[in-house]
Homo-oligomer: A and B are copies of this chain.
Amino acid sequence: MYSLDPVFDTLRTAQARLALESRHTKDKALQAVMNALDSNRGPLCKANEADILKARKAGMKEVLIDRLSLDHTRIDGILEGIATVIHQDDPIGKVRKGWTLPNGLLVEQRTVALGVAAIIYESRPNVTVDAFSLAYKAGCAILLRGSSSALESNRALVGIIKQGLEAGGGIVEAVALAQSGSRDEVEEILNARGKIDVVIPRGGKELIRRVVDHARIPVIETGEGNCHIYVEPSADIPNAVAIIENAKIQKPGACNAVETLVVHRDAGTALLPLLAQRFAGKVELRCDGPSRRAIGTPPPGLVLKDAVMEDWETEFLDYILAVKTVDTLEEAIDFINRYGTKHSEAILTKDLKAAEAFSRRVDAACVYTNASTRFTDGGVFGFGAELGISTQKFHARGPMGLEALTTIQYRIAGSGQIRV
């Protein structure tokens, strides 16, 4: 019977070696991986074309085919991601705290690698390289379980990564691709207690739900983003329209796109008619009563519906925006804490007190003042790449870079102390 056990063992052994590598040797190996990817663009694109051909034959939607595709621009982006990871400081071996006990013991809290990580993801091949480069720099071995639709691309990528590691004196066995494509393989990963230290699902809601429900190893939940923008009465209205438009349509399928606009009634009368004009023919609005009244006569081409309860709970990932009017800041905060997924929330205001209250009381990974929610992204935050965006509070929160793959160890240095 097919089993991942030998793969787990190899990763564990490789990780123990990788944990001892210096920043210099890790960066050298990553640089060699960059070079290998750069000089193998041809074979890479060819493997990717095979996946795309197969996907088209199977009737995959064009938007998903786009996600699956690699071209020179995307390869450039992948290489840039590795370069940024290389330039980041080594997260391992930092003394975060240190103190001396009354008996003379010196206690130090040091950062160490988390161990062996697994990532289960959907079609985008760049995740393969992003996850590998972060893991390698953080001293973690990684098991990659991509979608079967991207199998040829991922095989090519992992093959080239291993070539690069070989050439750069790195640890070739620190990365592995799970490639049977069977569901059993996922089950085996989710039950690998003591063999895999963390599993990160990255993709649609269904994938994440399945992993969270079945995992018997630590999971970091990612991605689901029912994000809000709250417009407070003092907000600059034209700027608010620009930010809402950006957060909604710059990339509607992204988890950090805004899904519900929350507007104070004193801002609604100025804001909503302008927004309705801007969104006519572009974005459907689903409004509660007061918001609808504030819009007045809808401009031609605007699709305008009454909001139902379900709309407050939905991550549309589409050209749809729910609109809720509130009477107070309190009500806005309560509404967001009730329906939000703790991802990214924004307040638009000129009032410092309102900004502070919103930031302190909204329970989310990222809280914005006067900016689009679209910035929640490991690349934008300067991490080079990301393993995903954690929407949980445990271990890692928000865009996950190198830090998410570390843990701590206490080192205690004595001179013969015993406990009395």
Contacts and interface: CB of A to CB of B under 8 A. Distances in A.
A332 B248 CA distance: 58
B16 A361 contact: yes
Give the dominant DSSP class at A's interface: mixed
Indicate how many identical chains form the complex.
2
Interface in A344-398: 359-361, 363-372, 374-376, 380-382, 392-395, 397-398
Interface stretch (A60-68, A122-130, A144-152, A411-419): A411-419
A357 to B, nearest CB: 9
A415 B240 CA distance: 11
Contacts of A420: 250
A414 B381 contact: no
Given A101-B380, A361-B16, A370-B414, A407 B419 contact: no
A249 to B, nearest CB: 11
Contacts of A363: 115
Contact of A368 (B216, B376, B380, B414): B414
A369 B236 contact: no
A409 B364 contact: yes
12 contacts: A19-B360, A243-B416, A365-B409, A366-B409, A367-B411, A368-B414, A369-B412, A372-B417, A374-B419, A376-B410, A394-B394, A397-B407
A365 to B, nearest CB: 6
Contacts of A299: none
A197 interface: yes
Given A197-B394, A392-B218, A412 B365 contact: no
Contact of A359 (B246, B395, B411, B416): B411
A239 interface: yes
Interface centre among A105, A198, A242, A409 (most CB of B within 10 A): A409
B393 A197 contact: yes
A20 interface: yes
A397 to B, nearest CB: 5
A283 interface: no
